[in-house]
Chains A and B, each alone.
Chain A
């Protein structure tokens, strides 16, 4: 049947919207009425049909528009994509993973044919049909990581594993929640997580790193993270803060439903076979409040989560300015009735 890809923008006139099916499949990140950091890691296995976990690498109706937005970001700022010299092999690992997964999940849109190291990759939504030699960078228009991540939704960090730590030695990062690859490149797990409040004290990062360095081939894991963004802007980078930072002051009781977006990251962790590195895809999902509150359970729960969010987290996530306006708006949709356990809206899954 295939996906109908939307024509939409993540900047200027912000025409990004979710279709009703995409609202229902939104990965709502709160399984209870409150939120605190935890080592929320679970096996990344296939989930229910129609959910974002139906395939381990999800492609959705925003695919084409997101790839166009990525191309615009890269044209302005090539440093959003970096790979230290020892990471080329890991780039090939990632190319294989993403081609295999996309072709497996969406055969009507992507086809991979291999004849030894002669590979042919067809990407119908983007009109690409390339034949290349696996392992030979000169046969692709970009390095292997850049080539495939220009054709895959979400940001990607590739971590080199050494000395019992993970090092951010390559990545394609254009849809990030206020952090910078150019700043973090070459850092280790503790260094790039330094700005995060409370989690260090709770020992979360020590335990998470222990888990990640033991991630096994064929056994990916995942976690959800979330924040909020004003306007459906994918590229909320420190480099462009001047463009999106001021948006936070524009929230009024009248425009909350349209402007304020919940931004959920489905993060997964995969061991790469040839390089023994780890790839960390950060798949970003946006939903505006008007769309989200079509599911009454989500509206009630989000109200309680945002209202009770610890101050440190609200500050770190940049919600401070508009939190009162948002909470007031959500309060009208919370009749105080209980919410069922679990992530899904009341109706499905």
Chain B
């Protein structure tokens, strides 16, 4: 049974430049019905039809879960990535009909928490936009610490301060402002849960310090979509379906498998959910693992790969698909 999500037919209702790097996209349903309700922290997978190719990228929903007339996402332009964000920035205009997935939440609030302590870096702010709306609507207790390179790149910082005032604290790299993490983590009331979303370095730093300061692992939540990385093309044989395919340099292995007409399971397309896990039948070469799902031991033993984000370099690769 394929566990891809149900699809929604939407139309782009608005495209709003937010700053030099970030643009916001609004979607409504083509049949004008309400969109499905979602929970703060959820993402959708956006299908981008770009000529011959289809890219599928996950983006966090940033609107209020209380308002399902439209979904909004914010996309940061990445000039060296595989082109998904460039496609969004250049080719997606109001009125364009697109297909997105149902919302999926891999970064949900722990509603037992007495307090939610949120740390955002850069475009990692987007899931917190929805989570803060959800909590504010139900009287939840939260505090948001948000770092960006400069004030002008602090996407939605103004809006957040306007909405939540003292509950939001901003830090700017160009002014050498840093979160005083140890002090912050050491001064939280019992029952606080910690959430972090941002670049990998920031997530690792926060998780390490939290562990060192005795935060139980189940109170520390993080979301980091590993964007699929471009790389050298490679060939793969799919043992079950008997196909041999080529993975292009700007294509993920998962996308190449799908382009060959095979329908493997997936949810996040970002190396975190585990759905696309695929067994390696044989290989001669080296894996470039980019996922957050497999254990280090799995990575070392070279018996599994997450095709949504990971690649391969070498002579031959046979997968159980």
Are A and B subunits of one complex? yes
* Residues of A participating in the B interface, judged by any CB pair closer than 8 Å: 41-43, 84-87, 89, 160-163, 210-211, 214, 216-219, 273-276
Residues of B within 8 A of A161 (CB): 108
Choice from B6, B39, B41, B273 contacting A273 with Cβ under 8 Å: B39
Whole-angstrom distance between the Cβ of A88 and the nearest chain B Cβ:
9
A216 & B108 in contact (Cβ 8 Å cutoff): no
State which residues 108-156 of B face A: CB under 8 Å: 108-112, 134, 138
Complex: how many Å from CA A43 to CA B6?
12
Whole-angstrom distance between the Cβ of A277 and the nearest chain B Cβ:
9
Contacts A217-B103, A218-B6, A276-B105; A86 near B267 (Cβ below 8 A): no
B110 & A273 in contact (Cβ 8 Å cutoff): no
Whole-angstrom distance between the Cβ of B261 and the nearest chain A Cβ:
21
15 residue pairs A–B, Cβ–Cβ below 8 Å: A43-B1, A89-B138, A162-B110, A211-B3, A214-B3, A214-B273, A214-B274, A216-B104, A217-B38, A217-B104, A218-B6, A218-B102, A273-B37, A273-B38, A275-B39
Contacts A86-B112, A274-B39, A276-B39; A214 near B6 (Cβ below 8 A): no
How many residue pairs link A and B with beta carbons under 8 A? The number is 64
Whole-angstrom distance between the Cβ of A318 and the nearest chain B Cβ:
32
Choice from B36, B39, B111, B267 contacting A218 with Cβ under 8 Å: B36
Residues of A within 8 A of B105 (CB): 276
B108 & A218 in contact (Cβ 8 Å cutoff): no
Choice from A89, A216, A219, A273 contacting B111 with Cβ under 8 Å: A89
Given A43-B1, A162-B110, A216-B5, output 7 extra A-B contacts at Cβ < 8 Å.
A42-B1, A86-B112, A161-B108, A216-B6, A217-B5, A218-B36, A276-B105
A276 & B108 in contact (Cβ 8 Å cutoff): yes
Residues of B within 8 A of A211 (CB): 3
Chain A residue nearest to B65 in the complex (CB): A274
A214 & B275 in contact (Cβ 8 Å cutoff): yes
Chain B residue nearest to A163 in the complex (CB): B218
Residues of A within 8 A of B217 (CB): 163
Residues of B within 8 A of A84 (CB): 112
Chain A residue nearest to B137 in the complex (CB): A135
B112 & A216 in contact (Cβ 8 Å cutoff): no
Complex: how many Å from CA A218 to CA B111?
22
Contacts A216-B267, A217-B38, A218-B36; A162 near B1 (Cβ below 8 A): no
Chain B residue nearest to A161 in the complex (CB): B108
Give a binary string over B28-66; 1 marks a CB under 8 Å from any A CB, 0 the rest. Answer: 000000001111011000000000000000000000010
Complex: how many Å from CA A46 to CA B305?
35
Residues of A within 8 A of B109 (CB): 276
Residues of A within 8 A of B104 (CB): 216-217
Whole-angstrom distance between the Cβ of A219 and the nearest chain B Cβ:
6
A-B pairs with lowest CB-CB distance, top 7: A273-B37, A86-B111, A276-B108, A218-B6, A276-B39, A86-B112, A163-B218
Residues of A within 8 A of B134 (CB): 274
Residues of A within 8 A of B275 (CB): 214
Complex: how many Å from CA A349 to CA B41?
43
Chain B residue nearest to A167 in the complex (CB): B112
B267 & A214 in contact (Cβ 8 Å cutoff): yes
Residues of A within 8 A of B6 (CB): 216-219
Whole-angstrom distance between the Cβ of A245 and the nearest chain B Cβ:
37
Residues of A within 8 A of B108 (CB): 161, 276
Residues of A within 8 A of B65 (CB): 274
Choice from A41, A43, A87, A217 contacting B36 with Cβ under 8 Å: A217
Give a binary string over B249-275; 1 marks a CB under 8 Å from any A CB, 0 the rest. Answer: 000000000000000000100000111
